[in-house]
Amino acid sequence: MQNPRLISLLIWGCAAAFGLVFPASAQTYPSRPVRLVVPFAPGGTVDIIARVIGAKISSDTGQQVVVDNRGGSGGVIGTDIVAKSRGDGYTLLIHSAGIAYEPSLRKTLPYNVLKDLDPLTMVGTTPNLLVVHPTYPAKSAADLVALAKQQPGAITYGTGGTGSSSHLAVILFQEMSNTTLNHISYKGAGPALIEVISGQINFMVATMPGAITQVKGGRLRALGISSTQRSPVLPDVPTIAESGLPGYEFVAWFGMLAPVDTPETLVNQLNTLITNATRAPDTKNKLDARGITPKTGTPAAFRSYIRSETEKWAKILGKAGIQPQ
């Protein structure tokens, strides 16, 4: 005669072995600290956004979000780290629009964004500021264009790396103004901005979060903003279009991604977690103060957007004669 108690214990044991009823397998995510990789040096816009949203996620979940700056190679090094990480939700990436430019700027990449990473959600957008040292002779975008035409290739500009938003913003400026400028690449937007503040390079088209404090403090002069309308945060700064380059527009965007083998249920959970943190009033206030407009959406929508941006910039860069390096 079969022993019902023995059979019950055997069923329970098998279920536990496969994680069906074992309490440890049903722990609420996250159950330990989450690593958020910023593929740029500290001080830039991606770093600022990561720390604001990361702090809110930490507060919401009770688990620390550790911001890990892995700058270098225009964001490739940090991105590759995440692309090769385990898709368990404990290593995430926050990146800029540069992730869509890279395929057109490099002959080879150690990863394919849409094959090796799972887009989670966009988190925000921001216009850029055309900034110079307060003693620099240019007082407007028109002045800068005039100086560049008088000194072809002599005027220097800094960027957060080849393919970064600060780089592409100037490529567009250069093409539209028919000028030749001297590109100085750094390991992040923060170091580049410091060089403008110190007067080592002539100008930068920096994202608002990285430059706004320096502009308000008088350490930088803003010649123009890259959006089509002035910002309520800096109402006295004209658009670059009205400051001397009609039709100019460039807006940066930022988003979070995970390794591609992240389970769909976890991707959706991460999307909800990040979206709630980004839309929270206290987070929105902190981002707004830095000129960042919070913007979120579904993983599918973000994937589609990255694909369309990659195709768009491939055409723009090809037309501009920018060859992959």
Please give the C-alpha separations between residue 120 and each of 148, 215, 297, in angstroms, as whole numbers.
Answer: 41, 33, 8
CA angle 175, 179, 180 (to 5 degrees): 105
Dihedral angle of Cα 171, 174, 180, 184, to the nearest 10 degrees: -40
- What architecture (CATH level 2) is domain 29-126+252-319? 3-Layer(aba) Sandwich (3.40)
Structure-block tokens of residue 226: 């890259």
Q: Give how far the C-alpha of residue 78 lies from the chain's centroid of Cα atoms, to the nearest Å.
A: 12
Domain limits, the chain: 29-126+252-319, 127-251
Structure-block tokens of residue 29: 């995510």
In 62-121, which residue ranges form alpha helices assigned H by DSSP? 76-83, 98-105, 113-116
Confirm if 79 and 39 have CB atoms less than 8 A apart. Answer: yes
Contacts for 170 with CB less than 8 Å, ≥ 6 apart: 157, 159, 181, 183, 205
Asked if the domains 29-126+252-319 and 127-251 are classified in one and the same CATH topology, the answer is yes
What pLDDT score does 27 carry? 60
What pLDDT score does 312 carry? 87
At 202, give phi and psi (nearest 5°).
-80, -45
Decide: helix, strand or coil at residue 300: helix
First to last CA, the chain: 76
At 99, give phi and psi (nearest 5°).
-65, -25
- What architecture (CATH level 2) is domain 127-251? 3-Layer(aba) Sandwich (3.40)
Please tell me the distance from the alpha carbon of residue 207 to that of residue 46, in angstroms, as a whole number.
10
CA angle 41, 161, 112 (to 5 degrees): 95
Confirm if 123 and 49 have CB atoms less than 8 A apart. Answer: yes
Q: Would you write out the chain's pLDDT as a tens digit for each of its 325 residues?
A: 455 444 444 444 544 444 443 333 336 899 999 999 999 989 888 999 999 999 999 999 999 999 999 998 888 999 999 999 999 999 999 999 989 988 998 889 999 999 999 999 999 998 999 999 999 999 999 999 999 999 999 999 999 877 778 888 998 899 899 999 999 999 888 899 999 999 999 999 998 888 999 999 999 999 999 999 999 889 999 999 999 999 999 988 999 999 999 999 999 999 999 999 999 999 999 999 888 999 999 999 999 999 999 998 898 888 777 788 8
Decide: helix, strand or coil at residue 122: strand
